Structure formats: structure tokens, C-alpha cells
Amino acid sequence: MKLLNKHVLLGGAAFGVVAVVLLFNAVTSSGRGSSERVLPTDLSDSTSHDSDDAALQPKTRESSLEEVIQIATQARAAMARSLHSYTARFVKQEVDSSGVLGEQTEMQLKVQTRFRDGNETAGKRVYLHFLAPESVKGREVIWAEDLHDGKLLVHETGLLGLAPIPPLDPNGFLAMRGQRYPISEIGIVRLVEKLIERGQQDLGNPDIQVTITRDFLLDNVSADLIQVKRAKPSGKEGDFSLAEIVIDPTRQLILRYRSFGWPSSADEVAPLQESYTYHDIQTNVDLTELDFDPKNPEYGYP
């Protein structure tokens, strides 16, 4: 019996190792380069705002980083007061740490924020269900600061889903393969915090030009489009030639952030560096610990 148990345990461990190797290959393949080109918003193009009503046409004015930081600070304060949880359809595309622009990835997102206990000390919790591309469709990911020892719990579909995948270090090599940032950076709260941080670094920079366009439509939401243009490279980490932020001024939620790098020549379009869009945001939904538990009967974890 002991010999049998030893063989069973060794077989299970080997199956887990195989699952990790297969997962590594899957993550690598899903991070292959994308041939799609995402272009900066062209406000002269009527299709960029999807409205024929002259009263709703975008209205652009000059602004400043000080104003952008003020808008972002007010948005974070509003979230800190009242944003306990939310769901969204999250679409991202980014250049990974190896410099490759990955495919556009779409996923259903559930988040419990650190604000839900009233003093910003609750553990952030995230659940992802991948919808596209086909190579990762059905993948599930759970990460919580205060659950599962802070590990990343991954469930794959098909052959990869036959065996449990060992919990992963969210900052480790495997979890970060094909990613620009760790999962702890995901979400609209962290997005607005990074906007504040980056804005403060460039305060007083004469090479920065800022405009705000009112009544910019995204998903039929009348939003503000903030465009931050840099006249020359800063040489700093995360440098960009153009950053675009779309914010819902009514709910004070960031709906999209995109940044573009520097074109190799004057006649080329600035290449996309990162794009994050939150569609169909539903706030303060009834999420519980079960939503971040692999034993949830609605999930596919083995």
C-alpha cells in the first residue's frame, strides 16, 4: 500500500509539473506578436465619437497636468469613499517585457477593492474569465491579497484543465510571461493612482501638452478624453509620445487608458505600448468570498 501511495503521489506530482510546462507553452504562444494596429484617437474623424448630434460633438480645449492630477485625485477620493466592488468586461493589449505587442485579450473581470472595509486595508481580490482570443478562451485566474497565501490560481481549458496547476507566485517568471505588469496592478483604482504618479513626475515639464475633449463617446457614455502629448522623449521608464485617458465625469471612473511610444521616423504612426479599456462597469455588485474561491460551482477549476 505504501508503495502504491508513493507511486500515486509521484504520478500526481509529475502530472502537475507537466501541467505547468503546458501552461508555460500556452502563455508563451498567447503572447505572440499582433499584426493589428491601434491608432491614436483622431478627433477630426467623425467615426471616433459615434454621434451625428451637433450638440454632442466633442469639444476640445487646452489643459494642464495640474488639472489632470486634480481630476484623477478627485476620482480616487470618490472611489475610496464608495467603490467596494465592481465587474467589467476588460480588454487589454500591451507590449510585454520582451518588447512584443501581444494580441488583444478580452476577459470578464470581478474585483473587490481595498476600500470595502472603509479604511483601505481590505485585501484586493480579482477574478478573471478569459473570453478571447481563442488560444486562451475559458482560462480562469484568481488572485487575492488575503486569500490562498497571495498566490495566483490558474485554471486552463482542454488538456491543460485536466490537472490542477500548482499555485503560482504572481510576480514570478511564469505568471509574468507575456505580461507587462503583475495582476496586482489590474483595475481602475490602480489605473487612476498610476495616472497621479506619472503626472506628478512631469509637473513643470515644458515639453508636455495637454488637451481635454468633452462629450467624447465611449460605449454610449459621454466622457472626457484627456490627451497628454510629449514633444520629445524623456528617457524615463514608461516613456510615451502620447497618452490617452477616457474618464466618465459623472461616475468619476476611468474607462480607458492607452499610451503610444515613439515612431522610428517622422512619417510613421506612433506604436501602441499599452491599452486598457473597461466596458460595462457595474459598481458595488454583490461579490462575496465565493467569487474568489476555486471551489465556486460556477467555475471550472478541477
Per-residue pLDDT tens over the stretch 42-71: 887 644 555 555 555 679 999 999 999 999
* Mean pLDDT, rounded, for 105-122: 96
Each residue's pLDDT tens digit, 126-148: 999 999 999 999 999 999 999 99
More confident residue, 48 or 84: 84
CB-based contact 255:247 (threshold 8 Å)? yes
**Which pLDDT score is estimated for 97?**
77
Mean pLDDT, the chain, integer: 87
pLDDT: which is higher, 106 or 268: 106
Structural domains in the chain, sorted by start: 10-19+21-292 (2.50.20.10)
pLDDT score at 17? 40
The alpha carbon dihedral of 5, 10, 16, 22 has a sign of: negative
- Cβ count near 119 (within 10 Å): 9
